[in-house]
Homo-oligomer: A and B are copies of this chain.
């Protein structure tokens, strides 16, 4: 289990690396990384935080890539389905996947102060939730695990 998110790093390299991986996966899986989709993924990667659909739309609109909500939602849906981004339910927002390519059940650590998000891998079907589901006869298809709180940086004074 690796958690990716709060440590500092060479962000420019991290973005371009992720874009390269995404392109490779699209080529391999016959998915089309069109200009809008590509740009939305870049925006998510660069910001490294959860962005709302209308934040995204603001950027797109400023860049002449589209002005109406469906433009943003379609691109985000594509990225989420392709596994390039995740939706954060507790924020109604979206974030680039930190484990690009790997099929996984992510868990998120969401800072309520700076909105940064760390992504951690889990195996819920092996945990308590999985046991509870089996006991109840429930068939899990998708799991949302989101912890809210304070990231390391925001614990030192600047939080609410």
Contacts and interface: CB of A to CB of B under 8 A. Distances in A.
Interface of A: 1, 3, 5-6, 89-90, 107, 109, 111-112, 118, 120, 122-124, 127-129, 131-133, 135-152, 155
Contacts of A138: 6, 109, 111, 118, 147, 149-152
A148 B143 contact: yes
A141 B148 contact: yes
B128 A141 contact: no
Ranked nearest first, the 3 interchain pairs of A and B with the lowest CB-CB distance are A137-B152, A141-B149, A120-B132
The oligomer's copy count stands at 2
B142 A144 contact: no
Contact of A132 (B1, B137, B149): B1
A109 B132 contact: yes
Contacts of A149: 133, 138-142
A5 B120 CA distance: 29
Contact of A136 (B89, B122, B143, B152): B152
A52 to B, nearest CB: 14
Indicate the member of A1, A141, A145 with the most B CB atoms within 10 Å. Answer: A145
Nearest to A4: B136
Contacts of A150: 138-139, 141
